[in-house]
């Protein structure tokens, strides 16, 4: 299957700083990328959907100024957690699709810990 690489796998940052997470589709062009957040023992919570070259569509309740998403190319999307706080600590996962009705391929996930 197609490969989606997410970096970093884990990161620890100080409260108030910003953290950038990258999501790359290595062997296909991802027209759409999704960013999820997952709390322990909970299912995926969709944060936003991004299409290459356009602004991301955020789900209700997700602060777009806090979770900046950029999908500058067909192979790269980034999520920046700005002014991180301990409550932002979570497992963030990206997924990418090539078309409307295809499966989503997931990155490895990033475990963010804000101290």
For other proteins, which is the closer residue by CB, 34 or 67?
A: 34
Let me know: does 3 contact 102? Beta carbons within 8 Å. no
- What is the pairing mode between strands 57-58 and 19-25? unpaired
**Residue 68 vs 104, nearer CB to other proteins:** 104
74 belongs to the binding site for other proteins (CB under 8 A): no
Stretch that binds other proteins, among 13-21, 39-47, 70-78, 81-89 (CB under 8 A): 39-47
Q: Among residues 6, 50, 77, 90, which is the contact residue for other proteins, using CB under 8 A?
A: 6
Q: How many helices (H) and strands (E) does the chain have?
A: 0, 11
* Contact status: 49 vs other proteins (CB under 8 A): yes
Q: Are 52 and 97 in contact (CB under 8 A)?
A: no
> Cα separation of 94 and 32, whole Å?
11
The site for other proteins (CB under 8 A) is made up of 1, 6, 34, 41-44, 46, 49, 91, 93, 100-101, 103-109, 111
């Amino acid at each position: 299957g197609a490969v989606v690489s997410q970096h970093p796998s884990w990161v620890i940052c100080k409260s108030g700083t910003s953290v950038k997470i990258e999501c790359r589709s290595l062997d296909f062009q991802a027209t759409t990328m999704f960013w999820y957040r997952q709390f322990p023992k909970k299912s995926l919570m969709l944060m936003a959907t991004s299409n290459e070259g356009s602004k991301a569509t955020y789900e209700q309740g997700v602060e777009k100024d806090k979770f900046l998403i950029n999908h500058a190319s067909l192979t790269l999307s980034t999520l920046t957690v700005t002014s991180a706080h301990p409550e932002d600590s979570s497992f963030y996962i990206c997924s990418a699709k090539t078309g409307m009705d295809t499966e989503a391929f997931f990155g490895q996930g990033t475990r963010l810990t804000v101290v």
